[in-house]
Structure formats: structure tokens, C-alpha cells
Amino acid sequence: MVNRTYERVVNRAVRYRLFIDMASPKASVWKEKVSDEQYSKQPSASQGAKDMNKEPSAIKKNFGDFSPKLVQLTDDVLFGDVWERAELSKRDRSLVTVAALIAGGNSEQLPFHLQRAKENGVTEAELIETITHLAFYSGWPRAMSAITVAKEVFKK
């Protein structure tokens, strides 16, 4: 994925998007022809200004200087696109994510996602039941690690 910024240009009634690859040492620039529909879907200048004034994400604050590409993918693709898809509710996405983290033994990511699941409408009882259920499918040690994390998260 290329770090892109774009600008709208109208040249002889043909619309183009200009792209700048900021990750490239030479900052390469290219343009692509776009339809009127694509052109109208681009964010307005005022939207771009709003985005610039937005508070940086927690991951950007913690890792932005260390791993800017991972931060950009997390903010833009994972949370900006995948989590916003309408085919699953955020509540369902939270349950799936918590289950996948437990099954994969990734308990270090659980505090954030357990809290997010609660914010997305999953109850503590449902999360505890999910962990109990997963003990039989992903392993007892993983479930015990997860329940230990959940107990700490739910105390707060």
C-alpha cells in the first residue's frame, strides 16, 4: 500500500487524481483519470482539514515514530475500513476478534479488545461465557490466560 495524498485537478474537462508516494525516497508522483462519480466521492478540502485536527489514535501516540506504516495500516485499513464495514455489527466483530485473540493465544491484545467489546454492547457475562466456551476449542491454558486478563479488565 502506498502512502497517498491526492488533489483534484480539472484539465480540459478531464478529471485526474494526483498521487504522491511519500514512502518513496524520490517521492514519486503520478496521476489517474477518474470518473465524475469517483471525483464526487473524494473528501472535500474542509474534510481534509477536519482530519488534520483530529486527535492522534492511541497506536499513533505509542508507535507512530517507531513504526509509522503499521500505525497507518492499523488506523486507515483495520479501524478505518474493516471495522466500519456494514456486513457485521461492531458487536459481532468484537466477539469474533476476542475469540480469535483467545484462540491464537494473543492475550496481550485482549485488554483493549475486551474493553472495546463492552463499548460495542457485549456484556461481561457474554465475554466470560465466550472464554469458557473457547476453553474446549482453543485449549484450557489459553482460556485461563484470557480469563485472568478479563478479570483485571472488568475490575476497572
For 50-82, what is each residue's pLDDT tens digit? Answer: 455 578 888 888 888 899 999 999 999 999 999
| Closest-CA residue to 74 (of 86, 85, 83, 65) | 83
Q: What is the rounded distance in angstroms from the CA atom of residue 113 to the CA atom of residue 48? A: 29
Write down the pLDDT at residue 57. 84
- The overall pTM is greater than 0.85: no
Mean pLDDT, residues 32-48 taken together: 50
Q: What is the pLDDT of residues 113-154, one digit of tens each?
A: 999 999 999 999 999 999 999 999 999 999 999 999 999 999
Cβ atoms of 122 and 150 within 8 Å: the answer is: no
122 forms bridges with which residues in the sheet? Answer: none
Residue 156 pLDDT level (bands cut at 50, 70, 90): confident
- Apex 31 CA angle, 60 and 76, nearest 5: 20
Q: What is the pLDDT of residues 21-34, one digit of tens each?
A: 455 555 455 555 55
Write down the pLDDT at residue 114. 98
Q: What is the rounded distance in angstroms from the CA atom of residue 148 to the CA atom of residue 23? A: 41
